[in-house]
Every structure is written in structure tokens, then in C-alpha cells.
């Protein structure tokens, strides 16, 4: 009898649309980290945050129910995003609390859902990173990873094992990068000041590459770096950990 646990990958809409490499890197990492088989349910689309964060509860509920149904059969659910992971883990139980058919199921799902680096370190207790990446790297913690999921140590522990990588801590790393989902287009001028600060702090590290575990932050940061003419590359941390950082960096031409 197989001891393998089934892991459902919640790809996230941005990885699906923007950067498939991250999804494949996540699968590779999870399967290397222990006796896990990864599957990607077809019925997934979005986690429901656009509606949830904009007051459209009805839409958020419809999407959340779909996600619960698609993923509740797995032993674990993993998302290469603190934002979407946090949505399922911390917000679904509250969002669905008033729905008798889904409240308990949402709580159960939340209990087995993890952000990718959190899963690799805290569930799989994986120590076997074999990738090499001979560059100096800084790391942006997304707000949701840092404050909703208390994930900070995990990506650093994993990156410490990457061959040739030199890690430079980002100064004043706690503030938001200014993405915030629809916030960045509702209040573009404030968002711009925030990402200006973030990019200045990234530049101050002298790192070649900025990594993060959330595509939203990465699109924002990469977009600002490129607009400012910076040579700093932006990548999802999974690409580096899985040794799949050969594609052009985010916002770079092929």
C-alpha cells in the first residue's frame, strides 16, 4: 500500500497566466521534498480575492465554494503564493462561516493548506535543495506571507542551501511593495511611491536578483525595476529552488 500523500497544487491565476515555469517548479519541489504526488485540479481558476477584497462577497463566496469542492479531497493543498495561500488558509473559514454546507469543509481545507516554502519546510521538513544559482540575491516577503501566514524563516532556510547563492537581507523589508491587488490601479500614485521605496531598498542591497513567493508583488516590483532601467532581475523563489531559473526573468525579453 502506497504511503504517498496527494498534494493539490493551487496554481494561482497569475502563475497560470503569467509564468507557468513557477507552477512546474512548484510541482518539482513538492515531489522532491517527500512522498508526495502532485495533482492540479482542472476546476481551479482564482481564489476569489478580487471580490473578497472589493466588497463583492457574493462573487467571493461562489469562487470559494468552487475551490473547496475542487481541493478538499487532497491530503494537502499548496500554493506558490502567500496571498492565495493566505486567502484559503485564513480567510475561507471566515468567509464561509455562515454557510452550513461549507463552513466545516472550509475549516478542514484551511488546516491542510500551505504556502509553498511553508509546506517544504514545515510539513515536508525538506532539507534537500540541490539547485545552484551563483548570484547575489535579496528577498521580498509579501504582506500575506509575513503577516497572515507568519512565513519568513522558511524561504531563507531553503535559499541557504542553494549552491553559489549569496543572500543579502532587504533593509526595511516589512512594508508592502504597493501591489495590493486592485489597490495598485485604484490608487496608482500612492502605490507608485510604495514601490519606489521598495525598489530603492532592493537597489541598496546591491543584489543581482530579487526573489519573492508572490507573482503579484513580483509583477509590480519587476515592472518598476524595468521602468527605472534597473539591471536587477525579479524571479519567483520556486524557480531558483527548483533549478529552473533558465527562462528570462520577469519582465525581461527572451
- The footprint of other proteins on residues 129-188 (CB under 8 A) is 143-144, 147-148, 174-176, 178-188
CB of 57 vs other proteins, minimal distance in Å: 5
Query: Are 242 and 25 contacting, i.e. CB atoms less than 8 angstroms apart?
Result: yes
Task: Verify binding: residue 112, other proteins, rule CB under 8 A.
Answer: no
Cell of 84: 492565495
CB of 248 to other proteins, least distance (A): 6
What residues between 9 and 38 interact with other proteins by CB under 8 A? 11, 13, 15-24
Contact 145/213 with Cβ under 8 angstroms?
Answer: yes
In this complex, which beta carbon is closest to other proteins, that of residue 34 or of residue 41? 41
Minimum distance from CB of 146 to other proteins (Å)?
Answer: 8
| Closer CB to other proteins, 160 or 248, in the complex | 248
DSSP summary character for residue 162:
S
Q: Which of residues 89-108 bind other proteins (CB under 8 A)?
A: 94
> What region does 55 belong to: left with phi over 0, alpha with psi -120 to 50, or beta?
left
Q: How far apart are CA 60 and CA 48, in angstroms?
A: 5
Angstrom distance (rounded) from CA 239 to CA 29:
9
254's grid cell: 527572451
Cα–Cα dist 48/110, whole Å: 15
Site for other proteins in 207-246 (CB under 8 A): 219-220, 222-224, 226-227
Tell me how far CA of residue 135 lies from CA of 22, 37, 103, 208, in angstroms: 19, 31, 46, 6
Q: Which is nearer to other proteins, 167 or 187 (CB)?
A: 187
The mark string for 70-89 relative to other proteins (x by CB under 8 A, - otherwise) is: --------------------
**Residue 128 or 171 with smaller CB distance to other proteins:** 171
Binding to other proteins in span 47-66, by CB under 8 A: 48, 50-60, 62-63, 66
Amino acid at each position: 500500500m502506497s504511503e504517498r500523500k496527494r498534494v493539490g497544487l493551487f496554481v494561482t491565476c497569475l502563475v497560470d497566466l503569467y509564468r507557468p515555469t513557477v507552477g512546474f517548479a512548484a510541482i518539482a519541489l513538492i515531489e522532491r521534498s517527500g512522498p508526495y504526488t502532485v495533482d492540479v485540479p482542472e476546476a481551479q481558476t482564482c481564489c476569489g480575492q478580487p471580490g473578497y477584497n472589493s466588497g463583492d462577497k457574493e462573487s467571493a463566496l461562489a469562487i470559494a465554494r468552487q475551490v473547496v469542492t475542487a481541493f478538499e479531497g487532497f491530503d494537502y493543498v499548496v500554493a506558490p503564493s502567500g496571498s492565495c495561500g493566505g486567502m484559503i488558509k485564513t480567510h475561507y473559514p471566515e468567509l464561509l462561516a455562515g454557510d452550513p454546507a461549507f463552513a466545516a469543509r472550509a475549516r478542514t481545507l484551511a488546516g491542510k493548506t500551505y504556502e509553498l516554502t511553508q509546506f517544504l519546510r514545515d510539513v515536508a521538513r525538506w532539507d534537500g535543495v540541490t539547485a545552484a544559482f551563483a548570484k547575489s540575491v535579496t528577498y521580498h516577503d509579501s504582506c500575506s506571507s509575513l503577516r497572515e501566514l507568519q512565513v519568513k524563516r522558511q524561504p531563507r532556510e531553503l535559499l541557504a542551501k542553494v549552491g553559489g547563492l549569496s543572500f543579502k537581507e532587504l533593509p526595511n523589508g516589512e512594508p508592502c511593495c504597493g501591489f495590493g491587488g486592485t489597490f495598485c490601479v485604484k490608487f496608482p500614485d500612492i502605490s507608485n511611491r510604495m514601490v519606489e521605496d521598495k525598489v530603492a531598498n532592493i537597489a541598496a542591497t546591491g543584489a543581482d536578483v530579487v526573489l519573492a513567493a508572490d507573482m503579484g508583488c513580483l509583477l509590480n516590483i519587476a515592472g518598476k525595476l524595468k521602468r527605472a532601467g534597473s539591471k536587477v532581475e525579479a524571479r519567483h523563489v520556486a524557480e531558483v529552488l527548483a533549478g529552473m531559473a533558465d527562462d528570462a526573468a520577469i519582465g525581461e525579453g527572451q
